[in-house]
A and B are shown apart, each in its own frame.
Chain A
Amino acid sequence: KQEVTQIPAALSVPEGENLVLNCSFTDSAIYNLQWFRQDPGKGLTSLLLIQSSQREQTSGRLNASLDKSSGRSTLYIAASQPGDSATYLCAVEAGDTNAGKSTFGDGTTLTVKP
Chain B
Amino acid sequence: DAGVTQSPTHLIKTRGQQVTLRCSPKSGHDTVSWYQQALGQGPQFIFQYYEEEERQRGNFPDRFSGHQFPNYSSELNVNALLLGDSALYLCASSPAGTGLYEQYFGPGTRLTVT
| B48 contacts A44, C-beta separation under 8 Å | no
Checking B40, B106, B107, B108 against A106 with a beta-carbon cut-off of 8 angstroms, the contacting residue is B40
Complex Cα distance, B58 from A91, in Å, reads: 14
| A51 contacts B102, C-beta separation under 8 Å | no
* B65 contacts partner chain A, Cβ-Cβ < 8 Å: no
Q: Say how far A15's CB is from chain B's closest CB, in angstroms.
A: 26
* B105 contacts partner chain A, Cβ-Cβ < 8 Å: yes
Complex Cα distance, B107 from A49, in Å, reads: 20
| A99 contacts B43, C-beta separation under 8 Å | no
Complex Cα distance, B100 from A103, in Å, reads: 16
A-B contact pairs, 14 of them (CB 8 A): A31-B98, A32-B100, A34-B102, A41-B110, A43-B105, A43-B107, A44-B90, A44-B92, A49-B101, A89-B43, A91-B103, A101-B45, A101-B56, A103-B45
Q: 18 extra interchain contacts, Cβ-Cβ under 8 A, other than A52-B99, A106-B41, A106-B42?
A: A4-B42, A30-B99, A31-B100, A32-B100, A42-B108, A43-B4, A43-B90, A46-B102, A46-B103, A46-B105, A49-B102, A100-B31, A100-B50, A100-B56, A104-B35, A104-B42, A104-B43, A104-B44
Q: Which 10 A-B pairs have the closest CB atoms?
A: A31-B99, A104-B42, A44-B105, A100-B56, A43-B107, A43-B105, A99-B98, A100-B48, A49-B102, A106-B42
Residues of chain B at the chain A interface (Cβ within 8 Å): 4, 31, 33, 35, 40-45, 48, 50, 55-56, 58, 88, 90, 92, 98-108, 110
